[in-house]
Chains A and B, each alone.
Chain A
């Protein structure tokens, strides 16, 4: 009986400490020093939320760079991957289908090597990034769709360079391009 009372009391103590005070403390500090980040790195324009810098979006228009394939169609409720194993027939079929589609959509030579992230679905289904190479393969299609002249094309290429992030602190992770930020930027090219 004594043990039961001690257990109840110490459980209450830890619930208040680690379940209420700790998260509140962290929220307070975060909202103070990193308000934008703590609230989801939202992109707001004309008082409307367009999206989050961190969360990818689906693009199917010919005037935009396309994101990676997603098992949840970029709907974050809930996030997730396809969970197909390598010996799953569906994976092989989907990959060759995506390859054909990417080549046709971007009017590429059928022998072009497609970066693999454009053929495989991401883990979260919300991956905001593609590789530099995948962005470059889409340039000609977008230039054509937007009727860009050479000067505007140069600007577009500059945008890609601007939004190509190198490995963080030069040593962590991979080189990558944020698709949403890039698409927002090319909308500004006049």
Chain B
């Protein structure tokens, strides 16, 4: 590693720490319904929305109604996206004359974009028309992120309120997060990206006559507007097949740095918003610190693995599946951030990473996408772990578990366990199924333990709603399209519904004033306990699976054994 590499990483961390209170404070004002500087600019849009849908923004509902609204809205998004894909050829804005998409691939993609996963079994430039990319995929990029924010807002209200069953208005939360947070940031970011060379047009694909004398078709399209929200909303679905490794999707090292930065931007800032809204900024910073420690640990292991020499390729700098303008350090940084944050965009091919660096990606996703995590989703996933931590800590010292004045009862712990088990169940059962079936194995690009890692990665990515891949696996088959689709649904709604139930149950409770006997959740001891619970509950579950994949591959590689 060079000084510049280290500098970029430190700058990244410093900027995330610096921007967290700024954006976090702004979001607090937005979501609390207070005055903020974007109100005069975009306030009319919010009012227009309420007028159009005929909803009173201040009328709140209980958690069940909130959940039904959320599910209904997501279902409509799914149906619309599914339909425009299977009828793509009859729709406008299709200069490359792309054909209708198979029903199972359309199902997979519609689920994938609705659940903020953005797993892609298809190659964008040869599959999706501008119409589908723009009116289908870009919209889901926004609203799936907004859905994540809505859920964490409901959780925050559940914690900070007392003796009520109201946890907010889903439509208001959806509107405010899209209009005041996601949209302005996307506008700003996409213009910067075009300035770096990203394409943004509706032209037909251009044909270049190369110096060698052959034709090269250059895909075009409204890429920048989609890429901006793809990164900001931790979506990750590429406009082009190579995702953020494609020169049109990530033209320069600076565009790359910004893309990495904005993945963490909103999830990190939400910890501050959380602190503000539950009445203790310190609580927010504690969560932030736990996330930052886990991020730095993963990054260090990954950097070490990618810079180590090994028995297969010797001490060559490891450039398979990496771009020259990014080099090793920026590829590793991107991979750790994108898997921490359930983004899933990639600027290098994770399949070609060394086994341990690939394993860091898998573990980041297995822990439940809570290291900053998806927009909103990371933080509500973290709240699940916090509930488990106070419960376990309560058992150890023999006190009633309590978090921010709320007594944690059997119901909350049950729901937290369901949320936790839903994803582990989906990952392990489906991986096992694929690994012993001929249709599961036929998609493999690599033999030996790395082939198993490809399958494990796919289902982990789907369950964590990440969307990145060991892309050698050919997943555009009936089996993978359907099974991964189901896993994405479990990973999304199998967590959202229990979490909303927790929010509803907490809102009904009274707030007990803190006393000397209260177990503190805003100090280093708690941060340590939280990390411990995350690693044990989240991590140990998967140790056997990991040892069959990346761990054994690492050991074999160091003995020069290849397949």
Contact partners of B214 in chain A: CB under 8 A: 58
Question: Nearest chain-B residue to A12 (Cβ)?
Answer: B52
Interface positions, chain A 91-126, Cβ under 8 Å from B, are 91-92, 95, 116-117, 119-126
Contact partners of B54 in chain A: CB under 8 A: 6, 9
User: For the complex, is B21 an interface residue (Cβ under 8 Å from A)?
Assistant: no
Decide: A87 and B135 in contact? CB cutoff 8 A. no
Question: Nearest chain-A residue to B45 (Cβ)?
Answer: A17
Decide: B245 and A124 in contact? CB cutoff 8 A. yes
Assuming the A-B contacts A80-B471, A81-B352, are A7 and B324 also in contact, with contact meaning beta carbons closer than 8 angstroms in the complex? no
Which of B248-256, B405-413, B527-535 lies on the face that meets chain A?
Answer: B248-256
Interface string of A63-99 (1 = CB under 8 A from B): 0100010000011111111111111110110010000
Contact partners of A62 in chain B: CB under 8 A: none
User: For the complex, is B450 an interface residue (Cβ under 8 Å from A)?
Assistant: yes
Interface string of B165-209 (1 = CB under 8 A from A): 000000100110010000100110011001111111111001111
User: For the complex, is A15 an interface residue (Cβ under 8 Å from B)?
Assistant: yes
Assuming the A-B contacts A55-B218, A57-B211, A84-B472, are A20 and B200 also in contact, with contact meaning beta carbons closer than 8 angstroms in the complex? no
Q: Complex formed: what's the CA distance from A51 to B214 in Å?
A: 11
Decide: B76 and A11 in contact? CB cutoff 8 A. yes
- Contact check: which of A22, A31, A61 meets B225 at CB < 8 Å? A22
| Residue from A86, A91, A125 with most neighbouring chain B CB atoms (10 Å) | A86
- Contact check: which of A6, A20, A78, A81 meets B321 at CB < 8 Å? A81
Question: Nearest chain-B residue to A36 (Cβ)?
Answer: B197
Decide: A51 and B245 in contact? CB cutoff 8 A. no
Contact partners of A53 in chain B: CB under 8 A: 197
Interface positions, chain B 443-495, Cβ under 8 Å from A, are 445-450, 453, 470-472
Decide: A15 and B139 in contact? CB cutoff 8 A. yes
Q: Complex formed: what's the CA distance from A172 to B470 in Å?
A: 26
Decide: B246 and A126 in contact? CB cutoff 8 A. yes
User: For the complex, is B518 an interface residue (Cβ under 8 Å from A)?
Assistant: no
Total interface residues on A, CB under 8 Å, equals 92
Assuming the A-B contacts A51-B208, A76-B218, are A87 and B251 also in contact, with contact meaning beta carbons closer than 8 angstroms in the complex? no
Q: Complex formed: what's the CA distance from A18 to B230 in Å?
A: 13
Decide: B73 and A11 in contact? CB cutoff 8 A. yes
Contact partners of B320 in chain A: CB under 8 A: 81-82, 84, 86, 91, 120-121
Which of B273-281, B292-300, B498-506, B553-561 lies on the face that meets chain A?
Answer: B553-561
Question: Nearest chain-A residue to B245 (Cβ)?
Answer: A123
Q: Complex formed: what's the CA distance from A180 to B321 in Å?
A: 20
Contact partners of A84 in chain B: CB under 8 A: 320-321, 351-352, 445-446, 472
Q: Complex formed: what's the CA distance from A54 to B324 in Å?
A: 12
- Contact check: which of B52, B240, B352 meets A86 at CB < 8 Å? B352
User: For the complex, is A189 an interface residue (Cβ under 8 Å from B)?
Assistant: no
Decide: A34 and B210 in contact? CB cutoff 8 A. no
User: For the complex, is B143 an interface residue (Cβ under 8 Å from A)?
Assistant: yes
Interface positions, chain A 162-178, Cβ under 8 Å from B, are 167-169, 171-174, 176
**CB proximity of B318 to chain A, nearest CB, Å:** 7
Contact partners of A68 in chain B: CB under 8 A: 324
Contact partners of B322 in chain A: CB under 8 A: 120, 122-123
- Contact check: which of A3, A82, A92, A173 meets B69 at CB < 8 Å? A3
Assuming the A-B contacts A76-B216, A120-B322, are A41 and B197 also in contact, with contact meaning beta carbons closer than 8 angstroms in the complex? yes
**CB proximity of B223 to chain A, nearest CB, Å:** 9
Decide: A86 and B247 in contact? CB cutoff 8 A. no
**CB proximity of B132 to chain A, nearest CB, Å:** 10
| Residue from B320, B448, B553 with most neighbouring chain A CB atoms (10 Å) | B320
Contact partners of A59 in chain B: CB under 8 A: 211-212
Decide: A18 and B183 in contact? CB cutoff 8 A. yes
Contact partners of A50 in chain B: CB under 8 A: 208-211
Contact partners of A85 in chain B: CB under 8 A: 351-352, 355, 358, 446, 450, 453, 472, 553
- Contact check: which of A3, A27, A76 meets B72 at CB < 8 Å? A3
Closest 5 CB pairs of A and B: A173-B253, A83-B472, A78-B123, A123-B245, A85-B450
B: residues with CB less than 8 A from A are 4, 7-8, 11, 45, 49, 52-55, 65, 68-69, 72-73, 75-77, 80, 123-126, 134-136, 138-139, 141-143, 171, 174-175, 178, 183, 186-187, 190-191, 194-203, 206-212, 214, 216-220, 222, 224-226, 228-229, 240-242, 245-248, 251-254, 256-257, 310, 312-313, 316-327, 330-331, 346-349, 351-352, 354-355, 358, 445-450, 453, 470-472, 553, 556-557, 561-563
Provide 16 A-B residue pairs closer than 8 Å at the C-beta atoms, listed in order of the A residue.
A14-B142, A15-B135, A22-B187, A27-B200, A27-B201, A51-B216, A54-B251, A77-B125, A79-B245, A84-B351, A87-B448, A89-B563, A168-B254, A173-B254, A174-B253, A180-B211
